Structure 1
Amino acid sequence: MLTESIEHAGMARPAQPAMPPEPAAVGVDLGSAHTRVWASGRGTVHAANPTPAAAQRPGAVVRGRIADPEAMRTLLSGLLYGQRRPLPPGVVLVACRPVGTDARAEMALRDVMMTVFEPARLMFIDTVRAAAIGAGAAPGPLLIADVGAHVTEVAVLSGGLVVAAQRRNVGLHDHAGGLDADAAVVAAVTDLIGHVRRHSRHRQAIAAAVRGGLLLVGGGATRPRLAARTACDAGVPVRRPAAPHLAAVRGAGLAALAALRRGAMRP
């Protein structure tokens, strides 16, 4: 064969042009207990965050805020190293943030995201909105509660946007080991739903969302007893998506993927 005769003559094959790396979309959800990263074509990786008991210092994330940037950078770098396919440079990144995040907390989040991922584009999304996307929620007004380790959020979404929201710095780990560890969380969700219902604006959307029941996500949604007690105390039907603790990171990843595709369609 001609190919064989060239090789036998010691002539190298013509070099093939290098293909540019495939762009990637990335979603990040930093919780008080776990950090999760979703990347297109790679799936989700996650790890437990350093805790006060283990590190003799505040956790990496406390009440939705990065308290130890160096620990968080180390953790995220380790997660990226464990990806089965390395991320290319210039990813499109969407990071979750709790509702009501102030400018200082957002700046700390931005600094960590830029240092670790070096994205071409960085966007933020409210965790409740990301979770609604990741849960595949139907269009229309939506009442959603995200129960995490140290933060509980309740919000109403209308047209895909947060129109009313409340948060409470209480979560699953605050009363762990107590006689009734879920009671404080159920009370917080019920109280927050009441606050949202009394919101003076967007009353029609809020009323429609409440009639549709509550979408429960986050680590709290993995506890069937907590969901049942919330339905009873709040007086609304409660439903849970599959893998509710991953809904936010999935939604952030899908938002990043949509942004990546929109960018690719531009002339």
Structure 2
Amino acid sequence: MGTAHGAVRGSAGAVRGLALDIGSSRTRVWAPGRGVIADVPSGPVLRGRVTDAASHRRLLRKVAASAFGGAALDGGLGDTVVMLCHPVLAGMEQREAARRVVAGLGPARVVSVDSARAAAAYAGPAGGGPLLVVDLGAELTEVTLLVDGLVQDARLAEVGLDDLSEPTGSPAAVVHTAADMVRDLWRCDSTGAVRGALRRGVLVTGGGALRLDLTSRLALRLGVRLRLANDPATSAVRGAGLLLSSALGDPPTAAG
């Protein structure tokens, strides 16, 4: 689990890069030297799944035009590599649907990376050892165990911040869901990695990391220290940008 799909080096003619995070609520785009250049409402996306490819492709085309200028799109993005974030447990069909949307813009290559590894890349090292990443998103909650930078195990629930606006929604429901997934990872772990990750501190990302009513409850329920990602709502796309810059041979400090 946790591999980046599609090589970056050796992409013929590729001189530009974009990092892209198509979320259930927001679509975020990062460009080298400029940081996050777009943070806009997503097109038809339900629980992390693109449901209207044509509409979302039009949205991305507008964003790309703002990044490179309208004239740059006349021949597509043939000199551009796109690093595309996806949920850790996104299935092959879900990942391919997102890739087809981006491929419709004509980039030199589309490279996929899971959001947990991208967020961890942006958060930077906090000592060695395994890492637990809790992503509190708009319509999804994910808990991922990273060991040596690779996904060792993960859990996903189709519940998120948007559900809190429902009449029966409450912060406790999201917190209980995240905590239960952490405990399930612990029960299934025979290596001690989860215990080590809990001692190290849990990295919390996604828009929910900005909500004290969620993070304080989660810390109390787990009985551990939480490590909040910097600008957690955009940490995945910024981390994807760091990974892309490194792969293209650009300075890794340009995540913005």
TM over 0.5: yes
Query: Would you say 1:34 and 2:18 are equivalent positions?
Result: no
| Aligned-pair Cα RMSD in Å | 2.1
- Residue 251 (structure 1) aligned to one of 231, 239, 255: 239
Aligned to 1:171: 160
Deviation at residue 230 of structure 1 after TM alignment: 0.6
Q: Give the drift of 1:145.
A: 0.4
Q: Give SS of 2:79's match.
A: coil
Q: Is the 8 A contact 1:32 1:49 kept in 2?
A: yes
Q: Which of 1 and 2 has greater Rg?
A: 1
Normalised by the size of structure 1, how large is the TM-score? 0.80
The equivalent residue for 1:61 is 45
1:119-198 → structure 2 map (5 Å cutoff): 119-138=107-126, 139-176=128-165, 178=167, 181-198=170-187
Q: What is the CA-CA distance between 1:155 and the residue it aligns to? A: 0.8
Matches within 5 A, 1:45-56: 45-50=38-43
In the TM superposition, what is the alpha-carbon distance from 1:179 to its structure 2 partner? Answer: 7.1
Identity %: 39
Matched, 1:207 2:191: no
- The residue number in structure 1 matching 2:7 is none
CA deviations over 1:44-81 (Å, ceiling 9, x no partner)? 1110124xxxxxxxxx1111111111121111112122
Does the 8 A contact of 1:143 with 1:215 survive in 2? yes
Q: Is the 8 A contact 1:153 1:167 kept in 2?
A: yes
Q: Which residue of 2 aligns with 1:81?
A: 65
The alpha-carbon deviation at position 137 of structure 1 amounts to 3.7
Residue 265 (structure 1) aligns with: none
Cα pair 1:46 1:79 within 8 Å, conserved: no
Q: Secondary structure at the match of 1:174?
A: helix
Aligned to 2:162, the other structure's residue is in SS state coil
**Cα distance in structure 2, aligned partners of 1:137 and 1:249:** 17
- TM-score normalised per structure 2: 0.84
Over residues 99-128 of structure 1, what are the superposed CA-to-partner deviations in whole Å (9 max), with x where a residue is unaligned?
Answer: 221121111111111112x22222111111
Task: For 2:53 and 2:24, locate their aligned partners in 1 and report how far apart those are by CA, in whole Å.
Answer: 13
Matched, 1:24 2:16: yes
2:87 maps to 1:94:
no
Q: Distance in 2 between matches of 1:102 and 1:156?
A: 18
The answer (yes or no) to whether the contact 2:56–2:101 under 8 Å persists in 1 is yes
- 1:191-243: CA deviations, max 9, x gaps? 11111111244x22222111112111000001122111110112221121221
* Cα distance, 1:129 vs structure 2: 1.0
Question: Which whole-Å CA distance do the structure 2 matches of 1:180 and 1:92 have between them?
Answer: 40
Q: SS at the partner of 2:164?
A: coil
Counterpart position of 1:218: 206
Matched to 2:97, the amino acid is A
Partner amino acid, structure 2, of 1:153: E
1:71 is matched with which residue?
A: 55
User: How many pairs are equivalent?
Assistant: 231
Secondary structure of 1:25's aligned partner: strand
Q: Give 5+ residue unaligned stretches, structure 2.
A: 1-12, 251-256
